Structure 1
Amino acid sequence: MSAHVYLQEWKQEVETATRRLIGEASMPERLFQSMMYSLEAGGKRIRPALLYAVLDTYGRPRALGHEAAVALEMVHTYSLIHDDLPAMDDDDVRRGRPTNHRQFDEATAILAGDALLTDAFRILAQAELEPAKSVALIARFSEAAGSAGMVGGSSMTCSPKNVLECRCRLCNRFMSGRRGHSSSTPLKRVRFWRTPR
């Protein structure tokens, strides 16, 4: 099969699992609608597709990865909802549709994002894994999504005057941190970004 066919197959699989796993929770109807509005707004589902591709490669059933795949999409979707808020990027359109806070209201959008993030860990904890593996997976998810990962990265760009310095730090970290030693490139030498106005 072609890559496109695989992607469509994986996309349908994670979307079916999403409706099943989200639907198991009891919640206010408007909150549910807000969460599903953004979850079902489209997208290529690349993150779950990569997970399913690994399972396929090792000959493991995709069902083993349903909870993790859904959790990935939930964390990703929560980040989009919060990024679009007036206090962040203040966007009105996402994937050709009104952003969540425009379709519903700002408070509902915030709560929908909160619920997606929190419920992602509930769903992740339901995966049928050995206890030690389950704990390790949840720890890795929280690290990647939290202050040391995605949220930390978002905080770096909240203040325009900090964008240049943050980009320099990220560049220095990328260039040297992964090789196990501290950066020898001072921030003042990284001058190839335009200062934000």
Structure 2
Amino acid sequence: MYNAKLKRDVSEHVTQRPTMDEAMDAVRTLLAWAGDDPNREGLIDTPKRVANAYKEFFAGYEMDPAAELSRTFEEVEGYDDIVMLRDIDVESHCEHHMVPILGRAHVAYMPTNKVVGISKIARVVEIFGKRLQTQETMTAQILDCICRALKPAGVAVLIDAKHQCMTTRGIHHKNVATITTQFSGVFKTDNDLRNRFLRFAGQ
């Protein structure tokens, strides 16, 4: 139903976190390596600003996406169709170049006997986005997390994003978008349901 081998715990791959001062020193090194003077007036506060920005960009390492889905509701008055969130903002960073991945996610699930607050689905996308990622991995992680927490009849995830490692460097193709999809359960076996999801997602 889902990828049981997908890595979910990033803590095992993390070494001891450097101090704020060490992070700021690293930024100063990069500023000098880029060819500028870290001690000039305009750059004096840049190391602190960059370190604080990284705290925000990568806050997902401190959050548990499964915990967001822990509170569910069974009173749905017999509702038996898909629940879908469309156009969830995706703000992530490429793990290869550490530059932004920006786009939209569309997520749907087919409830069995419980649903979750809709904001929690968006929160799961946000948490996985606030980590160093590949789009393929992030798509699979979102699906896997929802499958494990809600045990629905099926989950569908589509991410449509632009990668600044491709648009602002390298081959400089500014209008190329990357689309990734992942399906489980009824969305994998029922072509009509999957196509309905894709229509709702504007594909």
For normalisation by structure 1, the TM-score amounts to 0.28
> Would you tell me which structure has more helix in proportion to its own residues?
1
What TM-score results when the alignment is normalised by the length of structure 2? 0.27
